[in-house]
Amino acid sequence: MTQAQLNQLTLEQLRELNERVVKAIKSKRKQVIAEFEIKVGDKVKVNHPKLQGKSLIVREIKRTTATLQLETGYFSYKVPITMIEK
């Protein structure tokens, strides 16, 4: 959709379009997280030298990151979801 086409829409039509776009974005984000098949409580590993060979537990999942805690300790790490391996 071009800028000229957007300028022709009414305020109500723009709000409806915005609502549809937001729903589509949220749906895509959920699909990305589902692709990695992780959920809170899962035991995972991270593809990073600092955490090589350590087993971690998923404590929280956000849009692009997950908070992981060491299985044997109190330390937690915020890691991009793309670096997590099941």
| Tens-digit pLDDT profile for residues 19-54 | 999 999 888 877 777 777 788 999 999 988 988 888
* Angle CA 67–48–82, to nearest 5: 55
Q: What was the pLDDT predicted at 17?
A: 95
SS3 assignment, position 79:
strand
Q: How far apart are CA 39 and CA 50, in angstroms?
A: 23
DSSP category for residue 81: G
Using the predicted structure, report yes or no on whether residue 15 has a pLDDT greater than 90: yes
Residue matched to tokens 């992780």: 38
Measured distance CA(63)–CA(74) in Å, rounded: 24
Same-domain check for residues 46 and 75: yes
Q: Are residues 28 and 48 in the same domain?
A: no
High-pLDDT (> 70) share of the chain, %: 99
CATH number reported for the structural domain that contains residue 72 in this entry: 2.30.30.30
69 and 31 in a single domain? The answer is no
pTM reported for the whole predicted model:
0.62
Domain span holding position 77: 38-86
Average pLDDT, the chain: 88
Residues 32, 43, single domain; the answer is no
